[in-house]
Structure 1
């Protein structure tokens, strides 16, 4: 086989031959379809229980705003998990990037960034993106080049990034954030009803979906996750590609850190300590396989909204938050169980 010619299983799309099957069978075999039904069912149930409170414009606006930052993180995590990797550091990188942005804006505005303008804000955005990208590059180098397992690398950088964030401001949050940033990006709206924060998250998600599902970068991501050795023999630079994937995840964590800063008007360190686990749970619930090679950005979007809808619905119906933890855990376990069943069924053919 020529090195420059990928083998048949890599040349074909993940769903090769998919279009030849009847629509009903295609839907029944799609994890995304079933997880979407779960989300729709939850919305219907909570709307029926609290018809005057849950199905309202305010509720859905709040849901979209509250999930925006996590959605940006989860898009990056989708790429990582499809390559059969993991990134436990994204929450800490988000915090570090937000802290760097806050400190840069403070420094450029003489210690009080509240009245700063768009020039200072732009510098803060660049600082956040660079900070996140650097951590992603470190993760990628240690995993792809040094050959250290992703779990160990990102567990280490999770603690290192969080510790570095604490050091930057002596263990406390940065609370001096430009008012115009908070009012425009954090709470501002377009077209009268669409939060600007949501628009940014949607644009990033659409770009992520385009990158994963229509470009060579996305095809290589699926190929590496399906069979890294086969991808390498087909001429794909697996090391270089993994480096790019983890760098992309760090880049998106940097953007998420800046979005969080805009929304909360503070670095809110304690609010992001479990973001890494939430992002992983959302991606897996959305049908992306922990074993690699299978996944979609649409599934991730659905996976992000299931815990958010549960939390909002339980709050409105006055159900204890502890039940939300149980429900999300059950959905997550069910998603992995379905993935394992699908893999066993596919391997037995």
Structure 2
């Protein structure tokens, strides 16, 4: 049985009775995209010879690739009215498992390891990330513990387990082939391979969310879990799958990070969970569930990235960067609440 779902195509009066221009202007993603375009225009004017360059674009794309993969998974979770604070720690744990596996298989000399060892390392990262997703999903969907509490606990547990795997230090022995090919390699006229992987995963995520039954069920559960249950949707099983997907993507992100940095870089990922949540919310995904798009999340990932890159280029101090990103996040949530109130008053 199908269930009516409030997505961005049905919010604000029903798009079916409106012109294309009205639908475009009424879409939350349109206004978020305008913010991103405005930021790019401002920094291009302020630093035309530095910001608007191919090198800056490539760097920006590479730096956001890992976060984008995390944020795609976070989009599914937040649409179900959930939250996952553990994705950053799961990324670290998955990267650590991958690094230690490749180190063990190569007899301590992972730098010279071949693609067979790298493939097993990828499997270790994906499996370990998926296991943490399974733990989160079971405790949230089956044990009925609030997502905030569950993922706050697994955030600390996964990070602690990652430290235990290598005595509290980073794994720095990574196959050279992995670093050169995926981390810094390019294809298709200079497009970084890391970016290609992120784009493919994002497109698959968009297809899954917007064109499949899995996506429709995700919106339905976020709009009203009880209504979805009465419509015949297995809410418990679906939530379990959503958190499994998020853990799976965190595992892939851990592998990508290891390839790029040639190290597990634990301290560099301790705030990735908050960054993924912020990017998803900035992209128009509602914290109250039932609303969100992958395209919006992509834009949401790039807004703080462009802000930070632009501020660095024009030499604005770091603390102003944090203030600006925080202000944009609060504005996004405020806009979402206004939209919800307007919709509910009709």
Q: Does the alignment reach a TM-score above 0.5?
A: yes
What is the deviation of 1:27?
A: 2.4
Q: Match for 1:64 among 55, 61, 65?
A: 61
| Equivalent in the alignment of 2:16 | 19
Q: Match for 1:195 among 173, 192, 196?
A: 192
Q: Match for 2:275 among 278, 284, 289?
A: 278
| Equivalent in the alignment of 2:290 | 293
- Aligned residue for 1:176, secondary structure, equals coil
Is 1:75 aligned to residue 72 of structure 2? yes
Mean Cα deviation higher: 152-161 or 183-192? 183-192
CA contact (8 A) 2:102 2:117 kept: yes
Q: Match for 1:312 among 309, 312, 321?
A: 309
Is 1:250 aligned to residue 247 of structure 2? yes
| Equivalent in the alignment of 2:36 | 39
CA contact (8 A) 2:79 2:289 kept: yes
What is the deviation of 1:23?
A: 2.8
- The two structures have a TM-score, normalised by structure 2, of 0.98
| Equivalent in the alignment of 1:267 | 264
| Equivalent in the alignment of 1:333 | 330
What is the deviation of 1:148?
A: 0.1
| Equivalent in the alignment of 2:123 | 126
Q: 1:49-90 CA distances to partner (integer Å, 9 max, x unpaired)?
A: 111111000000000000000000000000000000000000
| Equivalent in the alignment of 2:231 | 234
Give distance in 2, aligned partners of 1:201 and 1:49: 30
Give distance in 2, aligned partners of 1:239 and 1:141: 9
Is 1:217 aligned to residue 214 of structure 2? yes
What is the deviation of 1:26?
A: 1.7
- The two structures have a TM-score, normalised by structure 1, of 0.97
Give distance in 2, aligned partners of 1:13 and 1:304: 20
Point out where structure 1 has 5 or more consecutive residues left out of the alignment: none
**Paired positions, count:** 343
Give distance in 1, aligned partners of 2:33 and 2:9: 19
What is the deviation of 1:13?
A: 6.1
What is the deviation of 1:29?
A: 1.9
Point out where structure 2 has 5 or more consecutive residues left out of the alignment: none
What is the deviation of 1:192?
A: 3.2
Q: RMSD over aligned Cα, in angstroms?
A: 1.0
